[in-house]
């Protein structure tokens, strides 16, 4: 043990005090860091800060004005995300194993850090009153300090001494995720946080006992954690099923759309309409599709197939301009297209079966979407959009990426094209978009865009922002993808040409897959930037996460007065953004490493 300490001290000496300059730097930096920490902690703990302004407004932060009776939709969305995450972790379960000694060591080091910072924490801190006077008060009493120091010291000693025992086992690194997630969920049951209570006159009273966190948060999170765990095991079980991975990728792609519609609308469906009109139409078209698939290889039907096709198209044309219900019109269009495809695909019985499944699923989805989309929503949000707070931030980040990515691909291809006019136009669009800051585009969306739309056409501000974001992020994506395109050797184009592929096939089957794979890391960092940039909508008055912290809570006076407490909220907002972006960028770095080790 003594040797160990000696060794550590020696290496420390080498790294920190190798020369006079280095020693001076060490001391100066340490001094700066310690003082910065003391200042920050003192700033956070002085009595003019009210952290309840953050804690009490969690709901506002997350969903803004979303009605409380529909929270189940939010919880289900979060739950679904976690279930999918659990499945994915199970399916892509890594084979890396973490040594217990490593885990204990990191616990020990963390404990040491806490110890160090507890010791250097300031006892007194001062803040400036409105009259310029400096008020000093005790913020970190000896009791509190000891209250932290002693348990943490014990904790450290335990994990340090574990080193010298024989406890040595390895854990799967994927399993560790559950352990780390388990800690906060378990803490929800034990940690008690203060909440604000009001008396009859709406005066604020400081609650005597510490209140436990509301059950509305504790129980759902526990359920979600359990579901997460269960889906993890299911994922491990499903691991070897063919094409499960592509199914999962597709599910991840569709999940935001599902959550969006789920939170956006609670359809008030009139059952009589469903039974009277939707179901019969559904039945008729299901049967129609079934008949076509069954008899497509029948010789008589085959002979008159072109006549049948013509008749169907004619019927569709007539139907679309007649007074049929929307569902019937759309189904007609669909069956016409479907009939064209059928002969080509249903050559084998397997093809027929999968075609029938596709047809049924398409019809069900269509019926559901049309009926749901046409009905009124049961979610009423007074005076603002349904999405607000963190949900709006996510909406902007994810859908911004969704719409901008395809546009980015098109622009990149255009800029890389051999056709001069298309190349010049695309280059112009990309450069013009990129040379102007995002905020001016946001102003364009909020005040100017409406001018260009035909009279009578109006979009919600969020939609306009998404439209503009599509172009802005699209231009950045395009530049990244162009980098990937340029990295593809000329021989790949020639080989595709030589085997007779059409330009479209060449791009979609050969060039794009390779180009995208080459630029995944930069694309991820662009997406992270898009997430951070979504905070800019606060300037044009959308109620995103930042707006809630900066403006809404800072001006809140009912039911509790939090006017002027925007610094605490800003720190909280910064921490939340930091957690998300930091985790995302760390994950992407790991993925990048894995890709690098992979096929090339």
Which residues from 365-394 bind another protein, rule CB under 8 A? Answer: none
Which string of DSSP letters, residue by residue, matches 319-331? HHTTT--HHHHHH
Q: Which is nearer to another protein, 382 or 500 (CB)?
A: 500
326 within 8 A of 374, measured Cβ to Cβ: yes
Q: Does residue 96 touch another protein according to CB under 8 A?
A: no
Nearer to another protein, 382 or 454 (CB): 454
CB neighbours (10 Å) of residue 442? 23
Q: Give every CB contact of residue 498 below 8 A, 6+ residues apart in sequence.
A: none
Among residues 240, 246, 349, 435, the one that binds another protein under rule CB under 8 A: 435
**Which of 213, 412 has the CB closer to another protein?**
412
Minimum CB distance to another protein smaller for 330 or for 346: 346
Which residue's structure tokens are 């409380």? 68
Interacting residue with another protein among 539, 560, 592, 595 (CB under 8 A):
539
**What is the footprint of another protein within residues 545-564 (CB under 8 A)?**
546, 550
Lookup: tokens for 3: 């040797």
Q: Are 248 and 87 in contact (CB under 8 A)?
A: yes
**Site membership for another protein, residue 532 (CB under 8 A):** yes
Distance (Å) of CA 108 to CA 16, 129, 184: 22, 41, 19
Site for another protein in 33-72 (CB under 8 A): 33
The size of the chain, in residues, is: 600
Q: For the residues of 200-224, what is the DSSP string, one character each?
A: TTS-EE--SSPPBPPHHHHHHHHHH
Establish if 130 lies at the interface with another protein (CB under 8 A).
yes
3, 20, 452, 458: which one binds another protein (CB under 8 A): 452
Q: Could you say whether residue 340 binds another protein (CB under 8 A)?
A: no
Contact between 328 and 281 (Cβ < 8 Å): yes
Does position 354 bind another protein by CB under 8 A? no
Asked if 8 is part of the footprint of another protein (rule: CB under 8 A), the reply reads no
Provide the phi-psi class of 132: left if phi over 0, else alpha when psi is between -120 and 50, else beta.
left
Q: How far is the CB of 17 from another protein (least distance, A)?
A: 9
Looking at the Cβ atoms of 15 and 124, the one nearer to another protein is 15
- Residue 231 CB: number of other CB atoms within 10 A? 21
CA-nearest of 544, 556, 548 to 196 is: 556
**Residue in 4, 9, 10, 15 binding another protein, rule: CB under 8 A:** 15
Binding residues for another protein, rule CB under 8 A, total: 80
Is 422 an interacting residue with respect to another protein (CB under 8 A)?
yes
Q: Where does 239-270 have alpha helices with state H?
A: 244-264
Contact track, another protein, 570-589, x by CB under 8 A: xx-xx--xx--xx--x----
Could you say whether residue 127 binds another protein (CB under 8 A)? yes
Site string for another protein, 477-516 (x = CB under 8 A): ------------x-xx-xx-xxxxxx--x---xx--xx--
> Is residue 131 a contact point for another protein (CB under 8 A)?
yes
Residue 553 structure tokens = 């809570």
Q: Which stretch binds another protein (CB under 8 A): 194-202, 219-227, 284-292, 530-538?
A: 530-538
- Three-state DSSP at 168 gives coil
- Contacts with 555 (C-beta within 8 Å, 6 or more apart), sequence order: 563
Smallest separation (angstroms) from another protein to the CB of 254 = 24
* Contact status: 199 vs another protein (CB under 8 A): no
Smallest gap from Cβ 418 to another protein, in A, equals 8
* Bond preceding residue 559 cis, omega within 30 of 0: yes
């Amino acid at each position: 043990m003594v040797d160990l300490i000696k060794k550590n001290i020696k290496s420390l000496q080498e790294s920190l005090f190798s020369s006079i300059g280095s020693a001076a730097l060490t001391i100066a930096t340490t001094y700066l860091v310690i003082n910065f920490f003391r200042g920050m902690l003192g700033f956070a703990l002085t009595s003019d800060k009210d952290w309840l302004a953050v804690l009490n407004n969690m709901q506002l932060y997350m969903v803004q004005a979303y009605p409380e009776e529909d929270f189940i939709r939010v919880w289900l969305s979060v739950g679904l995300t976690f279930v999918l995450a659990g499945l994915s972790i199970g399916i892509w379960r890594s084979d890396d194993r973490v040594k217990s000694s490593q885990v204990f060591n990191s616990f020990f080091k963390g404990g040491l850090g806490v110890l160090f910072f507890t010791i250097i924490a300031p006892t007194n801190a001062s803040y400036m009153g409105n009259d310029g006077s400096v008020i000093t008060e005790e913020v970190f009493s000896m009791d509190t300090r000891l209250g932290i120091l002693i348990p943490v010291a014990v904790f450290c000693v335990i994990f340090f001494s574990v080193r010298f025992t024989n406890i040595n086992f390895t854990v799967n690194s994927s399993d560790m995720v559950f352990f780390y997630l388990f800690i906060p969920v378990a803490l929800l049951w034990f940690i008690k946080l203060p909440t604000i209570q009001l008396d009859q006159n709406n005066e604020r009273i400081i609650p005597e006992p510490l209140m436990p966190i509301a059950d509305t948060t504790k129980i759902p999170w526990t359920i979600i954690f359990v579901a997460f765990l269960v889906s993890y095991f299911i994922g491990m079980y499903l691991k070897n099923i063919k094409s499960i991975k592509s199914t999962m990728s597709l599910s991840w792609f569709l999940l935001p759309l599902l959550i969006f519609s789920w939170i956006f609308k609670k359809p008030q469906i009139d059952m009589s309409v469903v039974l009277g009109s939707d179901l019969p139409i559904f039945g008729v078209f299901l049967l129609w599709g079934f008949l076509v698939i069954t008899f497509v290889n029948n010789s008589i039907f085959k002979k008159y197939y072109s006549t049948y096709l013509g008749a169907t198209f004619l019927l569709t044309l007539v139907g679309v301009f007649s007074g049929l219900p929307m569902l019937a019109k759309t189904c007609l269009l669909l069956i016409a297209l479907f009939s064209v495809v059928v002969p080509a695909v249903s050559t084998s019985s397997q093809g027929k079966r999968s075609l029938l499944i596709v047809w049924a699923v398409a019809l069900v989805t269509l019926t559901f979407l049309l009926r749901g989309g046409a009905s009124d929503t049961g979610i009423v949000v007074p005076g603002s959009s349904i999405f607000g707070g963190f949900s709006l931030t996510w909406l902007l980040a994810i859908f911004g990426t969704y719409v901008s990515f395809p546009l980015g691909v098109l622009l990149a291809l255009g800029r890389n094209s051999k056709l001069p006019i298309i190349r010049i136009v695309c280059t112009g669009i990309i450069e013009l978009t990129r040379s102007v800051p995002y905020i001016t585009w946001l102003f364009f969306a909020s005040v100017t865009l409406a001018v260009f739309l035909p009279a009578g056409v109006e979009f919600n501000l969020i939609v306009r922002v998404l439209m503009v974001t599509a172009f802005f992020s699209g231009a950045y994506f395009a530049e990244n993808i162009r980098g990937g395109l340029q990295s593809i050797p000329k021989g790949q184009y020639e080989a595709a040409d030589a085997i007779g592929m059409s330009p479209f096939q060449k791009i979609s089957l050969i060039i794009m897959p390779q180009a995208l794979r080459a630029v995944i890391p930069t694309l991820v960092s662009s997406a992270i930037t898009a997430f951070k940039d979504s905070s800019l909508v606060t300037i044009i008055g959308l109620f995103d996460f930042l707006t809630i912290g900066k403006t809404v809570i800072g001006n809140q006076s009912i039911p509790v007065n939090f006017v002027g407490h925007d610094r605490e909220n800003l720190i909280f907002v910064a921490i939340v953004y930091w957690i998300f972006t930091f985790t995302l960028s760390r994950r992407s770095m790991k993925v990048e490493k894995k890709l690098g080790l992979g096929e090339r």
